[in-house]
Amino acid sequence: MVKSNPLPKLLKGEKIVYVKNFEENIPKHPISELRAIEELTRAKNYEQIGKYGPVIAAESLNDHLNEREFLRYNAIFGRDSLRVAVDLIYKYPSLAKTTLIRLAELQGVEFNAHREEEEGKIIHEYREPANDSIARELTEQRGWDWPYYGSIDSTLEFIKTFALYCNLYGFRLLSHSYKDRKSKKRKMSYAFDKAVDWILSKIESSELGFIEFKSLIPLGIENQAWKDSWDSYFHADGSIANHKFSIASVEVQASAYDALSSASDIYEKHFKNVKKALKLKIKAKILKDNILKFLWDEDRGGYFVLGLDRDDHKNIRKLKIRTSNMGHLLNSQLFLNGDYNDYVKKTIKQLFSKELLSYSGIRTLASDEIRFRPGAYHNGSVWIWDNYLIIQGLERHGYFGLARFLEKIILQDIDSVKRFPEYLRGDLTKTHYLNNRIIDIDDTINHKINRIEQPPQDVQAWTAASIIAIKIEKKLPLRAEDGDKFKFEEEILKNVWF
């Protein structure tokens, strides 16, 4: 449901400078999750899903068609389109295929700072300025050229999706021809190889062997992972991460590990390139070791921190805040071989703590962190795709009871708000609420106008895809089948606050 909420807390140096309220908009005839994906893929029916390429990230309901705030993501986003492709790959494999081909066509072919383009890099966002006013606005106000490549993880997800598709449906995709951005005819194997080389170049430029981000332009996206709000990376005292130097995000490292491992298998088994396969395996092993060394913290019961930044003297610092990002590691290959049960169980305990688990699902940020606000974009809200990724991780480790519990919550979210929103509020009460206002503040400490609340997009592609995936997935156990895991689940659920 949509309701009015109390004004959010303000931090030192903040004052409200703008508030805009939106009328309550509960659809009388909500669309189904399948119809949402059909519309976002320009398909007339389910048989055409994938025929016209990647999904558009979001669309608005009829009542919001003239509201600019509900039209912000009517474009192709690399990260979003790949996430949707993976969630639907078993039911609609052609969507994954055409998504990979289109992203290969848009893949970086040269260095261009204004686009944040690099050879082999996959786009963050694709718009055509000639017929897209938001593209022109971003160019004028922030200096972006198009396509825009300001994402650190799209290329990782491209490799993971590519490998998954080939392992499920064969390797013919590698020989598929396309034209790159310079109109040169290429094979998909070329796009794959260039993306892998980009990953290696990033790892080799980091003294930690991590994949790190730093915008190439003054007004590029500051945080180039999925939580790309400028204030989503910060320290326990609330101070914003130092963007003068590169930042490493914890879930990006897990994605990098999976990309390296998956690519290694393809180079070894399909390309018969044992030398490159071995190089990727070695890089993956170093990466795993450094994830556990630098990104795990024993404080507060043990948890994976959000990431690392550097101070003005380039000394490495942990971003010691608890976020949903740690949950992404559960759905990685990181902990599948070896004795990592302690990391897995402690991570699950954190995710199901009263600070991270809300009535609408797992929050993006724990409620006891300084910058927590239940309606903030990445600092307290609940994203359904984020929760579904965690559900998949719980299943991967055999915690089926906890997965079913979380599934029930997000299905209740959708039933309550009657759409497939970008996110819900992470309030401290038993509610399923959406933001219905914009709140801008003047942050005098960081010299920013910060939008601390905004309404979510009405229909977000990866929300609808998550719901489809839950409903079509093969029948899985209702509880952990392992005795010790079942006892652990019972203990976790017994302590849930609602």
Q: Where are the alpha helices (DSSP H) in 329-446?
A: 341-351, 384-396, 400-417
Is the pLDDT assigned to residue 260 strictly greater than 60? yes
Q: How many CB atoms lie under 10 A from the CB of residue 193? A: 19
Lowest-pLDDT range, 28-32, 205-209, 273-277, 445-449? 28-32
Q: How many residues does the chain have?
A: 498
Distance between alpha carbon 463 and the CA centroid of its chain, in Å?
12
Q: Provide DSSP, 141-201.
A: HH---SSB---SSHHHHHHHHHHHHHHHH-SGGGG-EEE-TT--EEEHHHHHHHHHHHHHH
Is the pLDDT assigned to residue 423 strictly greater than 80? yes
pLDDT digits (tens, 9 = 90+) for 298-310: 999 999 999 999 9
Preceding omega of 147 cis (within 30 degrees of 0): yes
Element (H, E) at 271: none
pLDDT digits (tens, 9 = 90+) for 358-392: 999 999 999 999 999 999 999 999 999 999 999 99
103, 182 Cβ separation under 8 angstroms: no
Query: Residue 478: CA atoms inside 13 Å, Cβ hemisphere, count?
Result: 1
Q: Specify the residue for token string 């990309």.
A: 259
Q: How confident is the model at residue 3 (pLDDT cuts 50, 70, 90)?
A: low
Q: How confident is the model at residue 98 (pLDDT cuts 50, 70, 90)?
A: very high
pLDDT digits (tens, 9 = 90+) for 118-128: 999 999 999 99
What is the average pLDDT across 100-125? 98
**pTM higher than the cut 0.85:** yes
pLDDT value at position 67? 77
What is the average pLDDT across 151-160? 98
pLDDT value at position 5? 72
306, 249 Cβ separation under 8 angstroms: yes
